[in-house]
Structures are given as C-alpha cells and as structure tokens.
Structure 1
Amino acid sequence: MGKSLHDFTYLTFDVVGTLIDFEGGLTECLAGIAADAGVVIDAEEALSLYRAARYSRDADLFPDDLIRVYLAIAPNLGLPVERKCGERLRVSAKRWKAFDDSAEALAQLAKDYRLVAMTNARRWAFDYFAKELGSPFYAAFTADETGTEKPDPVFFEKVFDFVAAEGSSKDEILHVAQSQYHDIGISRELGMSNCWIERRHGQKGYGGTIEPAKFTEPDYHFTSLKGLANAVAAARG
C-alpha cells in the first residue's frame, strides 16, 4: 500500500457493478419475463450467458446493447425471443437499485474527496444511476463523452486530462471499482492507485463481469463501499 488515504484529492468510481447492483437488476427483470412466460430461470446461469453475449465484437454501447444481448441469450433460458422483451430489459436499467451501502458511503466520502464517476453506461442511463445514488458526483464521464469503454486506456486519459486542467494529476486519484477486468488491472497498468470493492465476495466466479486474464492485487481491498468509507473516517481520526 504505497499511499495513505489522506494523499488523494479525487476518488474515481466505476458505477455499474460497484455502486449500482446491475446483476440484481438484470436477473430481476429476466425473472419477471420468465414468470410471464411460465418458466423459471437460474440467476447464475443467466449471468454467465449474459457475460458471454455482452462481450462480443458486435456489442453496442451499454445498456442499449441489452436488446441484442437478450435476443442472444433468450433461447438458452427458454424465454420468448422477442425484441419487446429485449427492450424491457434495456429499460429496466432506469429502475436498477444501488447497493445498500452505496449512497450513504458516497455521501460520507464526498466530505473528503471530489467524486468522479467513470461508467461504461450511456449518459441517459447514468442520469438515473446518479439520482439513485443521491447525485454525489463532482464530475462524470460516460461512454458518450469518452467515445469508448473501459478498459480502453483512452477512457482513463480523458479523466487524467480533466484533473490536469484543475491543476492536479493522476497521482491524486484513487480509482474505486469492483471489476478486475474493466478497472483494477488497467488502472495498475496506467500507474494509478486503486481500490477493489469485492462485491461478489463469498460467491464463485465473476458473475456478469468478464474474467480478467490475470488477477491484480489492489492497493486497497474492501468487500463493501462502507468498508472504504469507514477506513477513510478512521484515517481522518
């Protein structure tokens, strides 16, 4: 652990999966579609199928891509192969819930840092997520602003340019995320300090998130965002 929590000015956050429970949102909507069709689905199987379908070469921006993903996975789940169901899945993003600790922890962390969202979601979806989280962000970068998705270094460079314009540098950023593939590995490669929020602790596999080629040991590791907020409070004394 190279730096103290006092050494950072900015906390950058992955949103979907770290702050917003997208796995719960996805599987709840799919279960509703299944119930209407008179079938039952297995949540972990659905997430595995989602992961394989989501990260294909013809993927669209998230969550608009959920229409294509639904049509790809529906046959394997015994669900209706109908575009209206895919649209139902896409629109469900407007109602996805935050993890129980997210809003309170973000409000606490905002007392000490400038909070910056970094999400692969499009701006229209992020606006709903931000409201669900209590609108805590100092700034936000979505796939619409960056023109790309993490783990593309270009996404991170946009944020580096932003903090540089404020007279700061990436050395003053702690990147907070649950995805080893999208965030923790690439942030290490780019020389950032990072904090892994292990949302799937106690569960097997990577759920709806693609498995990384290798595991990256983070600078900080908590199983909840509350854990980070409590550590900051303790460091503050």
Structure 2
Amino acid sequence: MRLCDFPILTFDTYGTLIDWETGIWDALQPLCARLADPPTRETALAAFAQVESTCQAANPDLLYADLLAATHRTLTQNWGCEPDDDESIRFGQSVGDWPAFADAAESLAYLKQHHRLITLTNCGRTSYRGSSARLGDPWDAILTAEEIGSYKPSLANFEFLLVRVAADFGSDPGSVLHVAQSLFHDHVPAKAIGLTTVWIDRRAGRGGGATAPPQEGVEPDFHFKSMAELVAQHRAEQD
C-alpha cells in the first residue's frame, strides 16, 4: 500500500496542519494572567482537552466559536477565577490567529499536484477562513461541523464525508486516505467506518496535549511525525 494509491486525501486541520496547542495556549494567557497559581502549558492543554470534548458531546449543534467560549468559561470556573464573558468570547474567536505548522502549507501545495484535498473539520465556516488562508487555501472541499451538525468523533461526520466524496467526485471509500493527528477525533471513527488512515504524530509519541485520549485502541495504516515526513515518503514513491 502506497500513499500515492489514493486519489483523495482528507485531512483534519487542527493539530495536524494548524498548531492549535500553541494557539490555544497563547489565547489562554489573559486568563492565566488573572490566576494566582496559573497552570503549566501541559496542564492547561490537558484541561482544555477534557472540557472541550465534553462540551462537544453535549452540544453537537453549537458553533465552534461559541463552543470554545463555553469551554473557556468552564476552565475559568474550574480554575477558581471570576468569569469574564468578553474574555471568553475573544478566546472563542481566536481560531483564525492560531499558527500553521511550518511544513503545512508547502506540503499541501505539493500534495495538491497529485490528489484531491478535502478537510473534515470541527470548526465552523467563518472561523475556518483564517486557517484556510494560512494553509494557502488548498481545498477542493471544506466540510465543517457547522454544516454536518455534529462534532468528530461522531461517525456521522465521516458518513457525511463519504456521501460528499461519492456525490462530488464519484469516488468510493477505497479511494480515500484520511490524514490526522488525533487518534480520538479522527482515527478511531475513520477506521470504524473502513477508511485507511495516516497518523501525523505531532507530539512524537507523547500523550496528553489538547486532544482527549482515545477510548479504544486503534492502529493507523501509516505513521509520520510531520507533514514533511509524509511528503518525503510520497516523493520516494514517485522514484
């Protein structure tokens, strides 16, 4: 099995292409500055992962900017600080400021020469515009949680993806290779629905971070530590 065997590459964005852990940590700094004993980066990201995944499961139709604001309010209360609605709203609107990984835009530009590119994101349409621009607007299709009405890891998001792949590109699931960092949000449901997957292991095997741990074991089909490594393998397949 080779990367170049798949006409369609589908991507998670946040954690895979956009460095959301840096973006989240930076956006939490106004709150941390108000705390007598602020958390470390790793502690804050782990707390975010737990609260965000709980909010997503409980509020599948909430816009992502509003869901992030709700996550921020809960973190504020959990850390014993007075809620500040304006601060929470600004956190919810910070997605467009989150930086891209250094290898992301160049890697996508290369892959676009060989494949259709689709993103399946938990973001909303408006919030996603800034992220797409940072990545060079490479997408043949952008499928958002706002459009679908649920958040990954719901199987409904991946079912929606396959319906769109068939309708828009005339392709079946065997034509799709799903590329993602999150085992919890992406690999478990993608494998459950029969997709081949690539793990972009940005944390290099370290647990924790802004992504909740998977509830069950999962074995991705390919494993790279970066998009640059994926592209290097893809180039090698062309030789």
Tell me if the contact between 1:198 and 1:222 (Cα under 8 Å) persists in the aligned partners.
Answer: yes
Matched, 1:220 2:222: yes
Give deviations 1:167-221, integer Å, cap 9, x for gaps.
Answer: 2111011000001111111111111110000011153x23111111223111100
> 2:187 aligns to what?
184
Read off the aligned partner of 1:113 and give its amino acid letter: H
Q: 1:227 to 1:65 in 2, by over 3 A?
A: same
Alignment of 1:202-217 (within 5 A): 203=206, 205-217=207-219
Alignment of 1:134-173 (within 5 A): 134-165=136-167, 166-173=169-176
Tell me if the contact between 2:46 and 2:212 (Cα under 8 Å) persists in the aligned partners.
Answer: no
Q: TM-score, normalised by structure 2?
A: 0.91
What is the CA distance between 1:6 and its match in structure 2? 2.4
Q: TM-score, normalised by structure 1?
A: 0.92
Provide the rounded CA distance (Å) in 1 between the counterparts of 2:205 and 2:179. 20
> 2:23 aligns to what?
25
Specify every segment of 5 or more residues in structure 1 that has no aligned partner in the other structure, as ranges.
none
Aligned structure 1 segments of 4 or more residues deviating by more than 6 angstroms:
36-39
Provide the rounded CA distance (Å) in 2 between the counterparts of 1:128 and 1:5. 28
Provide the rounded CA distance (Å) in 2 between the counterparts of 1:79 and 1:101. 37
Tell me if the contact between 2:177 and 2:198 (Cα under 8 Å) persists in the aligned partners.
Answer: yes
Q: 1:150 to 1:58 in 2, by over 3 A?
A: closer
Tell me if the contact between 1:37 and 1:80 (Cα under 8 Å) persists in the aligned partners.
Answer: no
Tell me if the contact between 1:18 and 1:178 (Cα under 8 Å) persists in the aligned partners.
Answer: yes
Provide the rounded CA distance (Å) in 2 between the counterparts of 1:5 and 1:17. 21
> 2:200 aligns to what?
197
Give deviations 1:76-109, integer Å, cap 9, x for gaps.
Answer: 4454421111012112112111111111111111
Tell me if the contact between 1:31 and 1:41 (Cα under 8 Å) persists in the aligned partners.
Answer: no
Matched, 1:47 2:49: no
Aligned length, in residue pairs: 234
Greater CA drift, 145-154 or 69-78: 69-78
Specify every segment of 5 or more residues in structure 2 that has no aligned partner in the other structure, as ranges.
none
Matched, 1:231 2:233: yes
Greater CA drift, 73-82 or 101-110: 73-82
